Amino acid sequence: MAFKPANNIQDLQYFGEFGGINPSISDATTFTFMSAKTMSDTFEGNSDGCHLYARHTTPSNLYLGEALAAMEATKTANVFGSGMGAITAVLMQLCGAGDHVVSSRTIYGGTYAFLKNFTPKLNIQTSFVDITKLAVVEAAITPHTKVLYCESVSNPLLEVADIEGLSELAKKHNLQLVVDNTFSPLSISPKTLGADIVIHSLTKFINGSSDTVGGVVCGTQEMIDRLRSVIDGAGMLFGSTMDSRVSASILKNLRTLHIRIKQHSANALYLAERFEKDGLKTVYPGLESHPSHLIFKQMMHSEYGFGGMMTIDAGSLEKANALMELMQKENLGYLAVSLGFHKTLFSAPGSSTSSEIPEDEQKEMGLGEGLIRFSIGLDNDIERTYQKMKACMKTVGILS
Ligand code: PLP
């Protein structure tokens, strides 16, 4: 039977110790052992089912990790205190001095800054490439390359990675293909397409209420054990730990992800189709005009659509700012970074979430200063939203 990510989440059952229909939240940072021998075995990573210390594992964190692994079709997963906590831990686990990364040039600004500015201090170099051109990606691989890094749908330009094609390259050159799937949970399952490691910022769609920060790494048992190792595990040693109260909260929100993603996607497609017809430069993977529309279609679980992220080009930063301020005034959404909220969120990435990327590089990758990134909300009446947004666009002179 075809892989159904939301079914896999739904089929998991957890109970509290008194039969509660939600698992109890682990209210402890340390755990007792019946014997000293079990404690030392646990330190050596040899004692299944035992918890040591909350920076290592907690029952609540394991429940959430198990649910996310089920969603991503990986053997297991480890949750982190943030998306960046997950990303930095994976990259530092896989790379050491002298190693090289080939990364998409359009990725979240924080990840870009980490690879561009931080890892060179450790003598880890990165080549940033157009990830949609497999020949260009392959040409950037050197004998020192360890990791091929991309986002399934990139922040903020919404470029789509051909994960199967990249996976073939990764296998051919013995690299780990690491995919950040934050923009397309449920719609795309990178592991089933050949990714080795799948990462999410849980702060976004997966939690969906913009009230907690979190991240996850989904992968093989071996990789997750490496991250958790008390000897040299980046997950354990960097300390980007998720609090059990946060993981319990995210687990509850995860259960409605399938419903939310369908609505985010339907609303985004509705707006993107209309804005494009109105003559606005609109980028949305669900539009036939998107250069990777067919690749997304081949990869996707169609019931979840093309996701909730779209961009329009307002032509200039002044117009973009005027439009965003007016839309906020009209209660159409919030001028805010981040994504995956019930309200529409919008920002101009060139001067916010991607401002870490130097201006000349922004230009080269097609990130214009008038670009507005939208995370489309769960609006019940999207036609009304469209009419009100169009009126705002006319007021600020983006549409005539
Ligand atoms: N990955 C993507 C695609 C993102 O958009 C973000 C944040 O915006 C992150 C990772 C980082 O996640 P966090 O803010 O949870 O550290």
- Centroid of ligand 1 to alpha carbon of 50 (angstroms): 31
Q: How far is the CA of 36 from the centre of ligand 1 (A)?
A: 41
Number of domains composing the chain? 2
How many whole angstroms from 202 Cα to the centroid of ligand 1?
8
**Ligand 1 midpoint to CA 336 (Å):** 14
119 and 249 fall within a common domain: yes
Same-domain status, 338 and 222: no
Determine if ligand 1 sits within 6 Å of the CB of residue 86.
no
Quick one: angle between helices 221-228 and 83-94, nearest 10? 100
CA nearest ligand 1 atom 4, residue: 108
Q: Ligand 1, from 204, 243, 356: best to mutate by most atoms within 8 Å of Cβ?
A: 204
Same-domain check for residues 269 and 162: no
Residue 256, phi-psi category: left (phi > 0), alpha (psi -120 to 50), beta (remainder) = alpha
Whether residue 110 has its Cβ less than 6 Å from ligand 1 = yes
> How many angstroms separate the alpha carbon of residue 391 from the centre of ligand 1?
32
Helices and strands, number each (H, E), in the chain:
15, 12
pLDDT on residue 290? 98
CA of 45 to the centre of ligand 1 (A): 30
For a mutational test of ligand 1's pocket, the pick from 88, 152, 182, 242, i.e. the residue with the most ligand atoms closer than 8 A to its C-beta, is: 182
The domain boundary residue, chosen from 220, 254, 288? 254
Within a domain: 146: yes
Which CATH number characterizes residue 376's domain?
3.90.1150.10
Question: Are 307 and 239 within one domain?
Answer: no
* 328 shares a domain with 235: no
Q: Is the CB of 155 under 6 A from ligand 1?
A: yes
Q: Indicate if 291 and 353 belong to the same structural domain.
A: yes
Same domain (yes/no): 28, 106: yes
As a whole number of angstroms, the distance between CA 190 and CA 167 comes to 10
Instruction: Report the 10 Å Cβ neighbour count for 343.
Output: 15
Q: CA 76 to CA 183: how far, in whole Å?
A: 21
Query: Ligand 1 atom 15: the closest Cα is on which residue?
Result: 83
The whole domain housing 124 covers 5-254
**Domain assignment present for 170:** yes
- Which residue from 375, 262, 260 is spatially nearest to 309, judged by alpha carbons? 375
Is 48 domain-assigned? yes
Q: What is the C-alpha separation between 249 and 245, in angstroms, rounded? A: 6
Rg (CA), the chain: 21
My answer on whether 187 and 275 are in the same domain is: no
In a domain, 387, yes or no: yes
Q: 203 CB under 6 A from ligand 1?
A: yes
Instruction: Indicate whether 275 belongs to any domain.
Output: yes
The answer to the question of residue 158 being in a domain is yes
With respect to residue 36, please indicate whether it lies within any of the assigned structural domains.
yes
Tokens describing residue 43:
């330190």
Q: What's the pLDDT at 2?
A: 83
The pLDDT of residue 307 is 98
CA pair distance 357, 300, nearest whole angstrom: 30
Last residue of one domain, picked from the residues 230, 254, 278: 254
CA 368 – CA 359 distance, rounded (Å):
9
Ligand 1, pocket-test mutation among 155, 181, 346, 356, most atoms within 8 A of CB: 155
Residue 199 lies in a domain: yes
For residue 26, the 8-state DSSP code is: P
Are residues 214 and 305 part of one domain? no
The mean pLDDT values, 10 residues at a time, for the chain of 400 residues are 90 94 95 92 81 95 98 98 98 98 96 97 98 98 98 96 98 98 98 98 98 98 96 96 98 98 98 98 98 98 98 96 98 97 95 83 86 98 98 96
Same domain, residue pair 350 and 267:
yes
Please tell me whether residues 278 and 364 are part of one structural domain: yes
Other residues' Cβ atoms within 10 Å of the Cβ of residue 21: 8
User: 188 and 335: one domain?
Assistant: no
CA–centroid distance, residue 109 to ligand 1 (Å):
9
**Is the Cβ atom of 176 under 6 angstroms away from ligand 1?**
no
CATH code where residue 124 lies: 3.40.640.10
Strand order in the sheet with 197-201: 76-80, 215-219, 197-201, 176-180, 145-151, 100-104, 125-129
DSSP 30: B
Boundary (domain end) residue, out of 199, 233, 254: 254
User: What confidence score (pLDDT) does residue 1 get?
Assistant: 64
Return the residue whose CA atom lies nearest to atom 2 of ligand 1: 108
Going from the Cα of 108 to the center of ligand 1, the distance in angstroms, rounded, reads 6
- Pick from 114, 341, 68, 109: nearest CA to 217: 68
